[in-house]
Amino acid sequence: MKRCVVIGSGLGGLSTAVVLARHGWTVTVLEQGTQAGGCLQSFVRKGTKFETGMHFIGSADPGQTLHRLLRFLGIDGLPLSRLDPTAYDVVRLEGEDFAFANGREAFVETLACSFPHERDGLHRYFDGVEQVAAASSLHSLNASPSALARSMEMQTRSVNEVVASIIADPLLQRVLVGNLPLYAGRRDRTPFATHAFITDFYNKSAFRIAGGSDRICALLLEQLQQQGGRILTRSRAERITCNDHQATGVTTADHFYPADLVVAAIHPRRLLDLLPDTPLLRPAYRRRINALPETVGSFTVYLRFHPDRLPYLNRNYYVYDHGGPWDCEAYTDADWPRGFLYLHLCHEANPQYAQAAEIISYLRFDDVARWQGTHIGRRGPDYEAFKDAHAERLIAAVERAFPGTRAAIADIYTSSPLTYLDYTGTERGSLYGVEKDLTLGAACHVQHRTRIPNVLLTGQNVNSHGMLGTLVGTMVTCSDLIGTERLYAEIRDAGHE
């Protein structure tokens, strides 16, 4: 038995802990917060549950990629509620709705109703999405060399460039990138591959997590405990201790946890904070990590509705008032919000009506930086006024798009990038951690291996963010310890129905 300390109990930390515990490691997970889960946390106000960072997932039908991973992790009992397969995502542009339907044919034909002259282009676009997704890490053991080469190419070409090379209609080009907020995509910077993974993930099938995303956390914790692992909340890792060659353990405020392996499921910059003076990390490595770009942060309004007022919308809306999906992060004070993601949450007992909704829009960290260092709930009246004013602007935008919403609102809650900084330790409260920016090439790639042989990284910054992206990162990190062939064989075996 070898001792492993995992720092951070988000999806990345917990899934890595489960896999390692199953393979004979004695695992302790240290979590700084009072609750486990990181972005898997839900919170309850007046009996209504809200999501913080996992609103919907995809590819979870039997045989699909995420379903295989959930089975492998032993959490495929996760209760799911399917989004409308004829319109799981709706992009509202220039006042018109454009739906994304599940499955290739339905996706193409639904959009071809509005863009019949682009039917061939839509097929070619879909080919591109599927080919890139099929060559991603989880599939790559079976992927052909030509698929891998295509995938590599799509890491170096931007979403806008590839879409414009396939689709001539400028409105359809904008519609197809309507889901940009799911990866905080930026013009000329975000690789087409990032867009393709996420579009393919949800196009295969799309679900909310019935009962809240904290169910994922609860199921992972159950698995961890069954394998003899443990989690300690209110246990902030403050330092990783090293000898001349490697790490020897992790220190919290009041305890030292000896370790043969340390897995940091936190932002790589936070890992550097835990290793302030070891010569094992060279200055060039520190400089590179410190220079990593971050995705933009977000401002979210959580609405609790009066019961039985608003019919439940079983889909996500991406609404753009100012031209379209691109450059929404470059807002000015005068034109914020340039766009928002609007989604309903329903009561399982009464699914015709929305119980709650969330409105998510970009907000740059600099807008709230002056309150950094203040405490949650005690940041002062000027911060409250800032949040109220932003909430009002978002609610007004929703009311314009969905008249009648305001009258159904019972309570309003909000969060800003500071909330995420304090709850998850994500650098500058960014939505998805480190940004994939093709103009920086390998400089924005986070290796799971650090310069210290027994300190590894896992979580959304290795590989990619999101339910699938983070779990693929877990597989990358764990396969290094367990063996790629063995791990992938276990995933394949678990996937057999």
Ligand X SMILES: Cc1cc2nc3c(=O)[nH]c(=O)nc-3n(C[C@H](O)[C@H](O)[C@H](O)COP(=O)(O)OP(=O)(O)OC[C@H]3O[C@@H](n4cnc5c(N)ncnc54)[C@H](O)[C@@H]3O)c2cc1C
Q: Which residues bind ligand X (CB under 6 A)?
A: 7-13, 30-33, 38-40, 53-57, 236-237, 265-266, 270, 298, 360, 420, 424-426, 431-432, 459-460, 465-467, 470
CB-CB neighbours of 468 under 10 Å: 26
- Which residues fall within 8 angstroms of residue 109, CB to CB, at 6 or more apart? 101
Q: Whole-number minimum distance, CB 54 to ligand X, in Å?
A: 5
Q: Which CB sits closer to ligand X, 44 or 164?
A: 44
Q: Whole-number minimum distance, CB 416 to ligand X, in Å?
A: 11
Which residue reads 């930390």 in tokens?
Answer: 13
Q: Which CB sits closer to ligand X, 115 or 183?
A: 183
Q: Which CB sits closer to ligand X, 101 or 216?
A: 216
Q: Whole-number minimum distance, CB 428 to ligand X, in Å?
A: 12
Q: Which CB sits closer to ligand X, 108 or 468?
A: 468
Pick the closest to residue 190 from 151, 162, 220, 223 (CA basis).
162
DSSP state of 283: H
Residues 110-141: b if buried by 16+ CB within 10 A, e if exposed: bbbeebeebeebbbebbebbbbbbbbbbbeee
Q: Which CB sits closer to ligand X, 160 or 298?
A: 298
- Which residues fall within 8 angstroms of residue 179, CB to CB, at 6 or more apart? 89, 91, 100, 198, 199, 202, 318
Q: Which CB sits closer to ligand X, 50 or 331?
A: 50
Q: Which CB sits closer to ligand X, 473 or 495?
A: 473
Cα gap 220→218, rounded to integer Å: 6
Question: What one-character-per-residue DSSP string does 49-67 give?
Answer: EEESS---EES-STTSHHH
Q: Whole-number minimum distance, CB 5 to ligand X, in Å?
A: 10
Q: Whole-number minimum distance, CB 478 to ligand X, in Å?
A: 14
Pick the closest to residue 91 from 12, 171, 145 (CA basis).
171
Phi, psi of 227 (to 5 degrees): -90, 10
Report the length, in residues, of the chain: 497
Q: Whole-number minimum distance, CB 83 to ligand X, in Å?
A: 11
Q: Which CB sits closer to ligand X, 296 or 397?
A: 296
Contact, 252 vs 52, CB < 8 A? no
Strand partners, 302: 358, 413
Q: Whole-number minimum distance, CB 207 to ligand X, in Å?
A: 10
Q: Which CB sits closer to ligand X, 30 or 345?
A: 30
Q: Whole-number minimum distance, CB 255 to ligand X, in Å?
A: 12
Cα gap 352→32, rounded to integer Å: 39
Q: Whole-number minimum distance, CB 318 to ligand X, in Å?
A: 13
Pick the closest to residue 84 from 350, 310, 315, 353 (CA basis).
315
Cα gap 475→268, rounded to integer Å: 18
